[in-house]
Structure 1
Amino acid sequence: MSKTQKLTGISLFTALVVVLQLLGSFIRFGQFSISLVLIPIVVGAALYGAVAGAWLGFSFGLTVLLSGDASVFLAVNFLGTVAVVLAKGILAGLAAGLIYKLLEKFNMYAAVMAAAILCPAVNSGVFLLGCKLFFMETISGWAKAANFTGSPELFIILVLIGLNFVFELALNVVLSPVILRLIKIGRKEK
């Protein structure tokens, strides 16, 4: 694959990530929108490598910040929000690309499945860690206001992450065969 082809492919996936994130902002479970961009991040990371996956994750994070999807956290801690939103996207794309590359030589389907599972897990995991680092006081207040009797950490997992993560993970797993086919088409393997 030439540099021009790779750059063109990454550019197309970047545009797809931006458009899907903007469309996904209208689909909400709880306070947050569903991330429809994890599938193109996985496909892009598999086709073009872990660095491309990190770029696509960065594009995802930047779109989240610019679309206002993170506004509730931006009001609490601007720098913390920017760091968490960008880090979760970058690390999700990077992890998807690395695990895919590691497993591809053994079994392409296992590589796709692992990348499809790891991408939303890293995305949600970094969000959880970011909440713990930057927003615990605010989240504790939200939990009390909602009459939530568990710990603030449990509130994050059940209320802030819960359904989003389950939906994103299920979508990635169910669409893994489609992801595999897209990768084969992208590589012209039939």
Structure 2
Amino acid sequence: MKTSKNVRYLTQLALLTALVLLMANTFLGYIRVGPLTMSLLTIPVAIGAMLCGPLAGAWLGLIFGLTSLANAISGAGGLTFFAFQYSPALCVVMCVGARVLCGLLCGLIYRGVGKLMPARDKTCAFIGALSAPLLNTVLFMGALVAFFYDMPAVQEKVAELGAANPFIYVILSVGVQGVLEAVICCIVGTAVTVPLKRLLKQ
């Protein structure tokens, strides 16, 4: 029984890892919006964190982060390219560390909400799925502001947006793309997780 569960766990994780890599290499993974990028990779991260647990969420966040770092190095990542030139180490923290923490916290939030509302599968999945894009935005943009706000490329964008301070800059930068990312992840994450969770219990 334990072996069967382990095989199922590893199979699910492998499939979700492949999905992250597949999405990262198609238009579904990264959608450029000006100097920033809207990412739908929070969807498989959220699903994995909810189905397989916080550690699986952290693993999928790691894969997500590594693809983001690869884009930063290659020049396909907008501001992250300049961030990598500015400080490779801090860019790794922003691209990879933020995404690992995002997946881990998403799984912990889902697990915590599940304990509070054990009979509300849809509500738990909704909150868990919503937490992933929100955490991704807060952690990534927080790191960008904390580490790279004085970087010339960021200051050019600050001047263009007319942002009076870092908080306003984040709000103006995220804008509609952040809302769309959250809505899409919420809908897809909930729609996939709830029936799969029930199927796996059976």
Secondary structure of 2:193's counterpart equals helix
Structure 2 Cα separation of the partners of residues 177 and 26 of structure 1: 21
Q: Which amino acid aligns with 2:169?
A: F
CA apart distance, 1:17: 0.8
User: 1:102 aligned to 98, 112, 132, which one?
Assistant: 112
Structure 1 residues 185 and 35, CA, compared in 2 at 3 Å: closer, same or farther? Answer: farther
Q: Which amino acid aligns with 2:12?
A: G
Q: Is the 8 A contact 1:120 1:169 kept in 2?
A: yes
Q: Which amino acid aligns with 1:63?
A: T
User: 2:162 aligned to 133, 136, 148, which one?
Assistant: 148
Structure 2 Cα separation of the partners of residues 118 and 46 of structure 1: 11
Q: Which amino acid aligns with 1:98?
A: L
CA apart distance, 1:176: 4.5
Structure 1 residues 26 and 63, CA, compared in 2 at 3 Å: closer, same or farther? Answer: closer
Instruction: Give TM-score, length-normalised by structure 1.
Output: 0.87
Deviations 1:160-181 (Å, cap 9, x if unpaired)? x223311111112233541334
User: 1:6 aligned to 6, 9, 13, which one?
Assistant: 9
Structure 1 residues 22 and 185, CA, compared in 2 at 3 Å: closer, same or farther? Answer: farther
Structure 1 Cα separation of the partners of residues 164 and 63 of structure 2: 35
| Aligned-residue RMSD, C-alpha | 2.1
Instruction: Give TM-score, length-normalised by structure 2.
Output: 0.82
Deviations 1:130-186 (Å, cap 9, x if unpaired)? 122211112234322x26253243123212x22331111111223354133453366
1:117 aligns with 2:130: yes
Structure 2 Cα separation of the partners of residues 186 and 50 of structure 1: 20
5+ residue gaps, structure 1, are: none
Q: Which residue of 2 aligns with 1:169?
A: 182
> Identity across aligned pairs (percent)?
28
Q: Which amino acid aligns with 2:192?
A: I
User: 1:93 aligned to 98, 103, 110, which one?
Assistant: 103
1:67 aligns with 2:77: no
Equivalenced residue count is 187
Q: Is the 8 A contact 1:6 1:48 kept in 2?
A: yes
Structure 2 Cα separation of the partners of residues 147 and 9 of structure 1: 43
Q: Which residue of 1 aligns with 2:45?
A: 41
Secondary structure of 1:150's counterpart equals coil
User: 1:80 aligned to 80, 90, 94, which one?
Assistant: 90
Secondary structure of 2:162's counterpart equals coil
Deviations 1:103-139 (Å, cap 9, x if unpaired)? 2242211211111111111111111221222111122
Q: Which amino acid aligns with 1:140?
A: Q
Q: Which moved more, 1:44-53 or 1:61-70?
A: 61-70
